[in-house]
Structure formats: C-alpha cells, structure tokens
Copies of this chain bind each other. A is one copy, B any other.
Amino acid sequence: MAATPVTLEPTTLPSLRLSAKYSGLRIDAVRTNATLEAACTWGNTSDGGMNRLTCNNDDKSVRDWFISETKKYGCHHRVDEMGNIFAIRPGQNNNLPPIGLGSHLDTQPTGGKYDGILGVVCGMEVLRVLHANSITTYAPVAIINWTNEEGARFPPAMLCSGVWGGEFTVKYAQGRQDLEGNTLGGELKRIGYMGPTPCSFEANPLLAHFEVHIEQGPILDVAEKPVGIVRGVQSIRWYNVGVQGREAHTGTTPMDRRSDALLGAAKMIVETNRIVTETEVASRGGRATIAVINSSPQSINTIAGKVNIGLDIRAPADSDVGLIEKQCREGFAKICQQHSLEMTFDNFWISPALNFDPTMVECVKQSSSQIGCDIEIVSGAGHDSVYTSRKVPTAMIFVRCKDGVSHHPAEYSRDEDCAAGAEALLGAYLRYDDYIRRSTAKI
C-alpha cells in the first residue's frame, strides 16, 4: 500500500548532527566486500569483470538473492511493473513513504563489479547495521534495485528510474527491444519480475533517495580520498554537426581549390578542445568532446564531401554549456568560411544542471567529514538519482575507483573504500531520518 508524500519545512543545517545513540555504528569492510562478492555470483567473467544484462537469467538470480537477503533483515518487498524492487524495512511512522537507498544490479556487457552493484550493497549493509543493533528508524527505509540503469540491453540508460520519475511512459519502457527483438516487458514477465505495483512516484512514493556510486572519474583517486560528496549532476547537451564540402580527386585537385569536409571537421575537433582547455570555461570545469565521426565517401583518393560529428558539451553550470556552445558555433562557422563548407548544428538532447537537495547534501557532508573526506564533486555522468531528483530530495555519495576506470573489467574499488561509502551512507541516511522525525514532529 502506498504511503502519502509529505511536505517538509526548511530546517537550519546545523541541526543535522547525528544522534548520540547512533554514533558508535560502524560498517565492516570484510562483510561489505563479502556481500559485494555474493552479489557478483551471477554473471561474473573470467577477466574479473561482469556481464549481467537486464532480465537475463543472471539478472533473475541476483534479484532472487536480493529479495531473499533483504528478507533476513525484516524487509517486505514491492516489485513494480518495470521490475524495480523496493525492499522495505518498516519504521516508527509507516504513514511516511520510505527513504530510498538505491542503485542498480545490471551491468555493461564488459563491465565491472562496482558500477551500480556497490550502491545496492551499501544499502544492504545499512540494513544489516540497523538489524544487528535493533534500530527502528523513524521513516521506513527502502533498499532499491532500479531496473536497466545501464541501458546496455534495452536503451536508453536509466530507463526504469526514468519511468518512476515521469520521464518515460510504462508503455514506451516495456516496449524497448534488445537486438534480437525481445521487449523489456516480455523479458520481465519471462523472469517473473513484472510486478503488480504501478511504476510512478505518485503510486509508489519515496520520501527521499540516497545513492552510493563509484565515481567513474579520477578526482578521488588523485586526491587519495575514499569518498566524495556529490553536489549535483553537470549540465549536458548533445549535438549533431553536419559538414558539407565537395568530393573531388585527391590527386588532381590543388590544395587551394578544395572544400574538404574532413579537414573542416578535424579543425572543429581541435577548436572544440581549445575552447575547453584554453578559455575561461576551462577553470570552471567545462568539458567538450567529439567521439563520433562519420565521413563519406571513405575512399582514400576522394576528398571527403560530407562528415557528421557528435558533440558532447558539459559543465557544472548551464550558462557555461551555453557559452561553450556559442564559441563552438562561432569557431565552426569561421572554419566553414575558410574552407567553403556548409554546416548544420543540431542540439538533439539537453539535460540541465542538477543540484541535489541541500539538506541531504549537508547530511552527506557531515557523515563524510567524520571519515576525513570533504571533497565535493559534480557528477559528470547520469545516474538513477537524476530521475529520482525530479520527484524527491536526492543526494549521492561517490566512492573512489582506481584510475577512474569504469565500464571495464578492470573497474576496481578497494574493500575499505567500499565500506567507507556504506559508512558515509549510513551516517547521512540516519541524519536525514532524524531530520524527518524532527520536521514532522513540528507539523
């Protein structure tokens, strides 16, 4: 049965101290790692990585395991029509929706053991600590496995948190197909995970959403810190840029009579890099990348007549993404003029900058500072928390990963770093639960 969402009053941040009764709670690194290894029983690969695509038999097995494990700590379960699993441990006030601690158990086809899996495991470790210490929190808590975060089998990514957060319809999401034409809906039914609960915040609300995730970047590794405080997710825009020149023979066409679309595109790639490394946006974390290129006619002795490139621009601030875009448009136009090229510049996707909930971020800060971590990071990548933040206060904790490598079998986080992530989550979550207790008491 769905609880009712509540509106919380603003609070002053200093009141977020951890209750004395919780101050001795610790996460065990050996046990955390054992849980992680258990979660990787199905779909692991000989190179130390994982290949557990959404709704394959390994995904069914790990879901069964997740339900059976969380039952041991007093949880009942809701499975929604997108296969999202909510393992709910009751609190003192079960009229409140649960506080969610979520991430995902699916992986890339050549992925690692940490991306997503660590977030679910950290939630499970929080459960164990509550259970071992006979703690009944104020609000209920839900450890969540979001379906198909990677989107590797059923694009796009973050599909089922997206349905819950109102970005996609159930019909669209259930109809997504893999390369063999199997639908996500059909595969959810096949493995027995198309549940009866409607998939939406409105029908199945949360009070808030915390997520632990590996950083997937090098900041913490360079800083030698186990965890980081995620302030939000950077602004992202994607573009298709088309460059039209004139095909001509490489042997007979003088250099000064060419409209070489590939030369123009190459200059655009170099100019894009210059903008984000040499202009003012560089110091504000601006990033721009061209990683997709298609040239035609791909004949060694015919000058390229048509090239398409994919441009990815990111920055913590929307205004900086706009500024980078403006500089690219102007720089590219000059290149086109220089080489007699025509250009199309199409912005096909926008994801505005996202700031996580200040109260929740403060909870993360305080718990992180207790383990000596104070680095704040703006996430460069999307996560399920992007879509939960559309509906409920949300925050994230990043865990250091070696060399910033992810989506690769070499993806690695140390046992003690994984435990530090769980401990930061435990402290942040308990602070927030206390904050809820005090806030609702005032209502």
Contacts and interface: CB of A to CB of B under 8 A. Distances in A.
Contacts of A234: 251
Contact of A312 (B238, B301, B407): B301
A257 B218 contact: yes
A200 interface: no
Interface in A39-62: none
Interface in A311-346: 312, 314
A289 B254 contact: no
A4 interface: no
B292 A295 contact: yes
A358 B215 CA distance: 71
Contacts of A247: 407-408
Contacts of A255: 273, 276-277, 282, 287
A404 B248 contact: yes
Contacts of A267: 266, 270
Contacts of A303: 289, 291
A393 to B, nearest CB: 23
Contact of A295 (B276, B291, B406): B291
A191 interface: no
A310 interface: yes
B262 A290 contact: yes
Contact of A257 (B266, B282, B290, B404): B404
A249 B310 CA distance: 15
A18 to B, nearest CB: 30
A236 B289 CA distance: 34
Interface in A216-236: 216-219, 234, 236
A92 interface: no
A351 to B, nearest CB: 10
A308 to B, nearest CB: 11
A443 interface: no
Contact of A291 (B257, B300, B310): B300
Given A291-B262, A293-B295, A300 B238 contact: yes
Contacts of A251: 234, 236, 287, 312, 314, 379-382
Nearest to A272: B263
B380 A253 contact: yes
A137 interface: no
Interface in A126-181: none
A188 to B, nearest CB: 26
Interface in A368-423: 379-382, 404-408
Contact of A292 (B219, B298, B408): B298
Interface string A260-289: 101101110110010011000010000101
A183 interface: no
24 contacts: A216-B249, A218-B257, A219-B254, A238-B300, A247-B407, A248-B404, A249-B381, A249-B406, A249-B407, A250-B287, A250-B291, A250-B312, A250-B380, A251-B312, A252-B404, A262-B291, A263-B290, A265-B266, A266-B269, A270-B270, A289-B303, A291-B303, A292-B295, A302-B407
> What 6 A-B pairs have minimum CB-CB distances, sorted nearest first?
A251-B380, A217-B252, A266-B269, A252-B380, A266-B266, A250-B289
Given A251-B314, A262-B291, A291-B299, 12 more contacts: A216-B252, A238-B300, A247-B408, A248-B405, A250-B314, A251-B312, A252-B379, A252-B380, A252-B406, A257-B404, A266-B266, A291-B303
Interface of A: 215-219, 234, 236, 238, 247-257, 260, 262-263, 265-267, 269-270, 273, 276-277, 282, 287, 289-293, 295, 298-304, 310, 312, 314, 379-382, 404-408
